[in-house]
Amino acid sequence: MSQNVIWKTSPNFSTGRGGTAVDRIVIHYIVGTLAACDATFLNPASQVSAHYGIGEGRIHQYVSVHNTAWHSGNFAFNQRSIGIEHSADPNRAPTTQTLNMSIERCVTLCRQFNLNPLTAIVPHESVVPTACPGTVDWEYIRDRTAARM
């Protein structure tokens, strides 16, 4: 079953991957809803983006997976990774629906880029010091994706 991905093109990205192979999927939390994610990523002044945002029953794509989104705070890491944002905040974990949609997206991406989920799926906090992905159980996403491969 393919997901209905809704395009919301962000102006915040770099064309291409700088010759780097994609080998990581970075798990983020929005600290808000998908609507807040849209507002930030569609604003050129924010200078941030991710490839996908998931929440409230929807999945939005902001940047092509063949281009570099600005999500991890480390440009070299951005060039080798895909960023996925999840609707959640410090007092609100993502819903089961959001997690399931994320797992389905991760399965698709791991197949597309020939990735092992157990090494490819990482939390934002592993890239730079940050509270992200907060209440998102990224290990659950990683392990359920691996079980589906």
Residues in the site for Zn ion, rule: CB under 5 A? 28, 124, 132
Q: Which is nearer to Zn ion, 74 or 114 (CB)?
A: 74
User: Looking at beta carbons only, is 105 or 124 nearer to Zn ion?
Assistant: 124
State the CB neighbour count (10 A cutoff) for residue 75. Answer: 11
The residue among 72, 79, 28, 77 whose CA lies nearest residue 54 is 28
Peptide bond into 133 cis (omega under 30): yes
In the bound state with Zn ion, the residue whose beta carbon lies nearer, of 28 and 60, is 28
H runs (alpha helix) in 80-148: 96-113, 117-120, 138-148
In the complex, the smallest distance separating the C-beta of residue 107 from Zn ion, rounded to whole angstroms, is 21
Find tokens 């399931």 and name the residue.
100
Tell me whether residue 34 or residue 132 sits nearer to Zn ion (CB atom). 132
CB-nearer residue toward Zn ion: 124 or 144: 124
Q: Which two tokens stand for residue 48?
A: 């941030």
* Residue type (1 letter), 146: A
CA distance 31 to 131: 10
Taking the complex as a whole, the smallest distance from the CB of residue 25 to Zn ion amounts, in Å, to 12
Q: Report, in Å, the least distance between residue 82 CB and Zn ion.
A: 13
H helix count then E strand count, the chain = 5, 8
Q: In the complex, what is the shortest distance from the CB of residue 2 to Zn ion, in angstroms, rounded to a whole number? A: 26
- What's the min distance (Å) between Cβ of 130 and Zn ion? 6
